[in-house]
Amino acid sequence: MSGSNKKILLEQVADYVKDGDRVWTGGWTVVRKPMAMVYEVIKKRKKNLHLVGNPGGPETDLLIGAGCVIKTETNYIGHEVFGHPYNFRRKMEDEKHQGELFHDDWTVATGALRIMAGAMNIPFIPTRSLKGSDIINPSLDGFQALRGSDDKVPKKKVVLMEDPFWEGDTVALIPALKPDVCLIHAQEAGDDGTVSITGGAFLDYYAAVASGITIVSAERIVPREALEQTAESNVIPGEVVNAVLEVPNGAHPTALHRFYDNDPWWFKEYLEASKDEQRMEEWLEKWVYSMDHFSDYLEKIGFKRLQKLRANPVYGYNPDIKRRLDKLGGVT
Amino acid sequence: MSGSNKKILLEQVADYVKDGDRVWTGGWTVVRKPMAMVYEVIKKRKKNLHLVGNPGGPETDLLIGAGCVIKTETNYIGHEVFGHPYNFRRKMEDEKHQGELFHDDWTVATGALRIMAGAMNIPFIPTRSLKGSDIINPSLDGFQALRGSDDKVPKKKVVLMEDPFWEGDTVALIPALKPDVCLIHAQEAGDDGTVSITGGAFLDYYAAVASGITIVSAERIVPREALEQTAESNVIPGEVVNAVLEVPNGAHPTALHRFYDNDPWWFKEYLEASKDEQRMEEWLEKWVYSMDHFSDYLEKIGFKRLQKLRANPVYGYNPDIKRRLDKLGGVT
Amino acid sequence: MNVEEQAPDKTGKNKTSYSQLEMMVIASSRLLEDQERVLVGTGLPLVGAGLAKKTHAKDMVVIMEAVAFDSNPQSLPFCVADARAVYKTRWVPTAAEVMGHFLQGGRIDVGYLGGAQVDQYGNLNSTCIGDYYSPTKRFEGSGGASDIAALAKKTIIIMAHEKKRFVETVDYITSTGWKCRSYDGKSLVYRWELGLDGGPFAVVSTMGVMKFDANTHKMYVDYYYADLGVTLGEIINATGFDIDTSRAKPMEPPTLLELELLRTKVDPEGIYMKY
Amino acid sequence: MNVEEQAPDKTGKNKTSYSQLEMMVIASSRLLEDQERVLVGTGLPLVGAGLAKKTHAKDMVVIMEAVAFDSNPQSLPFCVADARAVYKTRWVPTAAEVMGHFLQGGRIDVGYLGGAQVDQYGNLNSTCIGDYYSPTKRFEGSGGASDIAALAKKTIIIMAHEKKRFVETVDYITSTGWKCRSYDGKSLVYRWELGLDGGPFAVVSTMGVMKFDANTHKMYVDYYYADLGVTLGEIINATGFDIDTSRAKPMEPPTLLELELLRTKVDPEGIYMKY
């Protein structure tokens, strides 16, 4: 794969995502999430997705709210200090949505270990975590009904085992994560798929290697030769990347180190809308379904607002941005 | 540990290495080996060391030849194309040395996985490798006599297990590597222990984290603030480094990316000497025991020869150096 | 949590008003020690850690699960993956290293956590209220809290003091306290029976600082915010289980420096403090 | 291995002499295909891979276990950790990624290996001659060879053709061939019985190119270096087990370009080729 030019268009992204796929979304909660690609997946009305990104942020709540998701397998779904994941909550709490979403609870350490095991192509990995927690309580297993019948789900959540090599401690064996598709947004990628990320790669390298297909959107697609200059800090080799696309502001409204900060106005509007099913539907119509292209979405966000979000390249973030939603003014 | 200045002198290195310790030497075969520190350990006549570096190069053959080693647990001991590890061979082949060296054979993938497991503090990790090889033949286990009685050695070499989570494949569980001491040479380290390495970090990060004590020698010790500029490519955090020392040419005669190439004259002389026990002893006297300080060793190597080894910083190596020992001329 | 009362002029140094929320953050920050390696959860722990770094614990090593090791933020991070956590660091790890290597490797001195519910043994719930399969309230989930509670050398918990939060038994044990879930899910066992080290060191609330009895491992009141008018009776009323108050001492009020730093340097916008 | 003979002038294009060593390296390099991901062992495979990249397989992805992914060395690396392997690459992995992720993940098309002994099933020995506990000759050890033979989609082996090297059963199975060690160490089993994919594709020697019968999985002669005067009888004599020569074809001699590139660009100093 490494010799070819892998550029695709945003409109083609959904061709790589099949209904029912296990999908890893890169980044971390409200940072560097592949939002443009997620909007595209929503627009194409993908169904029965099985989200395995660890942790999940607005992209996860959005995909759930848009009805694209039947399974989530993660340590966290939320918007950090901005507010709560109302679409996820509704699916879990409301009588009328019972059975629409299977959710399997994990942790940050085990999410990391599971995707590392996936990258290593080993079926499981031991951990010293989880002991004593209801996360491994056999009677509280969100995927219980699926184990053994759904081949995208491991047959067991955990197996306890005594260490036969050293002191005999009991450790928990946990299954590898095996995403079908991995969506990542980065600052820069080569046309060969090589990915450069700063400000934290999170688990994206492991996910890219563990996944059947990996798509990377980036602020800039550059000739591959340019990335020879930064070889020591490039984080994902082109070999595991199937396609790349250039999408400036492609992580909006989440933050991208050196490029832009979180968009508090987006979170404020989204959080209000997502509290209610009808308003969520209107929000999706307004910001996703009605948009011909992501550039129309950005046009609607507006130049002034995007300017307000710009990061100071020395700091990596925007030191002047207001982040408190309850006292947030308009874009001036 | 992170706040303090961790600078020590080369003379203090052996204080951190106790007789019987499991020692990881960083680098890879004939590249970036912590040679100055190894010479120091030899000079202080350390005994019964248990070498766990994967793979081993001249430092391993040297330590064996100097009588410092009773156990080796690695995938390779040698000098690559330069020649064979005669000290290691002699211990394994000669009747009169029977029982002086216990050697446990492993592989590059499992060496990597074992030290990763050590860094993760998990007692073992599964692998898909090793199946069908005599490396896991229960009757060909170089540590058989030690298992169960020597607490620096895992009770078993391998445990085969069926995957209970996915397709039921048989995988080999292999024990974590747990070095007591880790010796690393790098291009640059901060006085806080932060380590910057280019040209390949090999398994040194994992070893530094997995080890009880980690000592880093470097071509340059710099104020910690200088390493904030390269945070994305720094490979070892100061937190896991107990001491640092500045030793220019500290990896000689092995190669150091951007600084110097392998010293073919050293390998030629060493290989000749190491073929014979008596000549090996003379070599040790000449190049190690009689040296007051590593700078005396470098003085004896000579300025002209060190100049000949200098790497071109653009290439990272020396494009003009001759590497064929049988046609090697003198230093001109 | 926006109580603001006039601080009684006892010591002469606190001639200003401060809130229970402020006292909580300050009291928890005082429990952090210089040189300690502290794994800081999202939310109020970010504020408390920032304050400690600016007062008594300048060389405390601040660690965040997503991305930060020995972080010295110039501006308050609003999550543990924020670029503000990465600025001026010397290493940019991932959760694989922070959680998979450092935490699991026993290298974390203190886990500093929030939560939605805590019980008498210091078990934390950040998963759901009610039945797991049809909860009345579903939360964001563990994040790294479960790992941190299991693997740090000790944990400090920060949480508003309300009867619905301080419960006899949490609805779901996300993060293990002293007496936590057995492997079969059917009983509670002491954490050491499962081979877990560490354990909750303190629960710092809007009313006081609770610790755990060395023998029973049940929560007791160590300090209460007398200076803010909090009484032990109020604590008992706001706690959903019997709590020993016999060892309670009044908490030393905030210093002017602590308050000033908190308000003007650590969270000047009030992102978490909601001024 | 320094045989130099005048190449018979059959095709008109080989009016130069070349050695069996050169033919071996060239023959093995021809088996590598463009676009393939090739994990290259130390020694002669470095030379063969370098030649393939300069002739028919410019976009072959050269991978080295210690440090290199998609390597395009301008000068021959003398080991798989050499700075020459890192120059002009776009990613600098470690063995954790190359071996732990890519090889173990089934992403390597070809493993390209040397060895000290090979047997009729393509098992390789790079560990010792004689008894494991008191060997007559102890070698450097597996390095990554054992992993590569177990996990690559296929392996290409390059080795001098001598009776002591081509043996019926290797003294120690370092790297698995078609019929390898059972878990209890007591018998030989087919590799697929252990769940191993892949397997040896060819053994390229100083006399010819051997492959493995699709049914028996035993080695047979596919090509022999007739142009260098090698006869099938010589191969039989230099092989320590019965070898089928009935399918043997004469090997196409080196082209002038192959020889020129090998001698002047790939290993001009003769580090491995020992000119």
- In angstroms, the CA B156 to CA D95 distance is 24
Chains A, D: CB contacts within 8 A come to 54
Kindly tell me the sign of the dihedral angle through the C-alpha atoms of A292, A245, C96, B193: negative
Residue D15 has a pLDDT of 52
Please say if the pLDDT value at position C12 is more than 80: no
pLDDT (tens digit, 9 = 90+) per residue, C198-215? 999 999 999 999 999 999
CB-nearest partner of C100 from A109, A130, A170: A109
**Record: contact B108-D95, CB cut-off 8 A:** yes
**Record: contact B171-A123, CB cut-off 8 A:** yes
The separation between CA B144 and the C-alpha centre of its own chain, rounded to angstroms, equals 24
CA distance B122 to chain C (A): 8
Please say if the pLDDT value at position C4 is more than 50: no
Active-site amino acid positions of C: 65
CB-nearest partner of C90 from B120, B122, B194: B194
- In angstroms, the CA A139 to CA A249 distance is 44
pLDDT (tens digit, 9 = 90+) per residue, A192-243? 999 999 999 999 999 999 999 999 999 999 999 999 989 988 999 999 999 9
pLDDT (tens digit, 9 = 90+) per residue, A264-306? 999 999 999 999 999 999 999 999 999 999 999 999 999 999 9
pLDDT (tens digit, 9 = 90+) per residue, D7-65? 444 444 445 799 999 999 999 999 999 999 999 999 999 999 999 999 999 999 999 99
3-state secondary structure of B146: coil
Angle formed by the axes of helices B264-274 and B86-93, nearest 10°? 20
Residue B332 has a pLDDT of 80
Q: How confident is the model at residue C15 (pLDDT cuts 50, 70, 90)?
A: low
Burial class (CB in 10 A: 0-12, 13-18, 19+), B3: middle
- Partner D contacted by B322 (CB < 8 A): yes
CA distance C108 to chain B (A): 11
**Record: contact C102-B192, CB cut-off 8 A:** no
CA distance B117 to chain A (A): 9
Set of chain A residues whose Cβ sits within 8 Å of the Cβ of D90 = 190, 192, 194, 224, 227-228, 231, 234, 237-238
Going by C-alpha positions, the residue among A116, A83, A88, A118 that lies closest to residue A103 is: A88
Please say if the pLDDT value at position D217 is more than 90: yes
**Record: contact B122-A171, CB cut-off 8 A:** yes
Q: Give every CB contact of residue D154 below 8 A, 6+ residues apart in sequence.
A: D109, D110, D111, D198, D199, D200, D201
CB-nearest partner of C90 from B122, B190, B240: B190
Q: Answer yes or no: are the C-beta atoms of B2 and C61 closer than 8 Å.
A: yes
Chains A, C: CB contacts within 8 A come to 212
User: What type of residue sits at position B161?
Assistant: M
Going by C-alpha positions, the residue among A50, D182, A160, A22 that lies closest to residue B164 is: A160
Going by C-alpha positions, the residue among D133, D140, D129, D130 that lies closest to residue B140 is: D133
Set of chain B residues whose Cβ sits within 8 Å of the Cβ of D173 = 132-134, 137
Set of chain B residues whose Cβ sits within 8 Å of the Cβ of C109 = none
Q: How confident is the model at residue D210 (pLDDT cuts 50, 70, 90)?
A: very high
Going by C-alpha positions, the residue among B202, B232, B185, B5 that lies closest to residue C90 is: B232
pLDDT (tens digit, 9 = 90+) per residue, B198-230? 999 999 999 999 999 999 999 999 999 999 999
CB-nearest partner of B128 from D78, D80, D151: D151
Residue B3 has a pLDDT of 53
Token pair listed for D231 = 């006869």
- Partner B contacted by A165 (CB < 8 A): yes
Going by C-alpha positions, the residue among C240, C60, C95 that lies closest to residue C164 is: C240
**Record: contact C101-B237, CB cut-off 8 A:** no
What global pTM score does this model have? 0.96
Chains C and B touch (3+ CB pairs under 8 A): yes
Find the residue in B nearest to C92 (Cα). B232
Set of chain A residues whose Cβ sits within 8 Å of the Cβ of D88 = 228
Average of per-residue pLDDT values in chain D? 93
Please spell the DSSP secondary structure of A269-287, one letter per residue: HHHHHHTSHHHHHHHHIII
Q: What is the dihedral of CA B100, B102, B107, B112, to 10 degrees?
A: -100
**Record: contact A134-C143, CB cut-off 8 A:** no
**Mean pLDDT across D210-229:** 98
Q: b vs e for D204-218, b when ≥16 Cβ sit within 10 Å of the residue's Cβ? A: bbbbbbbbbeeeebb
CB-nearest partner of B75 from D104, D135, D141: D141
CB-nearest partner of C42 from A80, A129, A255: A80
Best residue in B110, B122, B197 for a mutation probing chain A (most A CBs within 10 Å): B122
Please say if the pLDDT value at position A129 is more than 70: yes
- Partner C contacted by B204 (CB < 8 A): no
Chains C and D touch (3+ CB pairs under 8 A): no
CB atoms under 10 Å from CB of A158, counted, come to: 23
Set of chain B residues whose Cβ sits within 8 Å of the Cβ of C37 = 239
List chains touching A (3+ CB pairs under 8 A).
Answer: B, C, D
Best residue in B113, B120, B177, B216 for a mutation probing chain C (most C CBs within 10 Å): B120
Say if the ipTM goes beyond 0.90. Answer: yes
Query: Is residue B305 within a helix (H) or strand (E), and if so which, with residue range?
Result: helix B303-309
Query: Is residue B214 within a helix (H) or strand (E), and if so which, with residue range?
Result: strand B213-222
Q: How confident is the model at residue D191 (pLDDT cuts 50, 70, 90)?
A: very high
Kindly tell me the sign of the dihedral angle through the C-alpha atoms of B223, B228, B229, B235: positive
Separation in Å, CA A217 to CA A188, A196, A225, A241, B104: 8, 11, 18, 11, 46
Rg value, chain D, Cα: 18
Set of chain A residues whose Cβ sits within 8 Å of the Cβ of D102 = 209, 239
**Record: contact A120-D59, CB cut-off 8 A:** no
- Domains annotated for chain B, with CATH where assigned, are 1-123+176-332 (3.40.1080.10)
Please spell the DSSP secondary structure of A216-271, one letter per residue: EEEEEEE-GGGGGGGGGGEEE-GGG--EEEE-TTTTTTSBBTTTB---HHHHHHHH
Going by C-alpha positions, the residue among B318, B316, B63 that lies closest to residue B181 is: B63
CA distance D171 to chain B (A): 10
Find the residue in B nearest to A229 (Cα). B314
CA distance B199 to chain D (A): 6
Find the residue in D nearest to B316 (Cα). D83
A130-144, A193-207, C69-83, C96-110: range with lowest mean pLDDT = C69-83
Set of chain B residues whose Cβ sits within 8 Å of the Cβ of C89 = 228, 231
CB-nearest partner of A203 from C95, C174, C191: C95
Query: Is residue C93 within a helix (H) or strand (E), and if so which, with residue range?
Result: none
pLDDT (tens digit, 9 = 90+) per residue, D67-99? 999 999 999 998 999 999 999 999 999 999 999
Q: ∠ at Cα A7 (A6, A11), nearest 5°?
A: 125
**Mean pLDDT across A89-115:** 97
List chains touching C (3+ CB pairs under 8 A).
Answer: A, B
Topology adopted by domain C1-113+254-275: Glutaconate Coenzyme A-transferase (3.40.1080)
Active-site residue (options: D4, D5, D22, D65): D65
CB-nearest partner of D42 from B74, B80, B205: B80
Token pair listed for B326 = 């049988």
CB-nearest partner of B198 from A176, A198, A232: A232
**Mean pLDDT across A98-118:** 97
- In angstroms, the CA C155 to CA D92 distance is 38
Find the residue in A nearest to B230 (Cα). A233
Residue C7 has a pLDDT of 43
Rg value, chain C, Cα: 18
Set of chain D residues whose Cβ sits within 8 Å of the Cβ of B30 = 79, 81
- Partner D contacted by A122 (CB < 8 A): yes
Separation in Å, CA D29 to CA D42, D204, D209, D266: 14, 10, 12, 12
Going by C-alpha positions, the residue among A41, B203, A101, B62 that lies closest to residue D97 is: B203
Token pair listed for B256 = 């150091």
Find the residue in A nearest to B172 (Cα). A122
Please spell the DSSP secondary structure of D197-257, one letter per residue: ---EEEEE-SSEEEEE-TTT--EEEEEE-GGGT--HHHHHHT-BS--B-TT-EEPPPPPHH
The separation between CA A23 and the C-alpha centre of its own chain, rounded to angstroms, equals 8
- In angstroms, the CA B110 to CA B161 distance is 16
CA distance D32 to chain A (A): 16
Please spell the DSSP secondary structure of D34-91, one letter per residue: TT-EEEEPSSHHHHHHHHHHHTT-TT-EEEETTTEES---SS--SSTT-HHHHTT-S-
Best residue in C58, C70, C90, C151 for a mutation probing chain B (most B CBs within 10 Å): C90
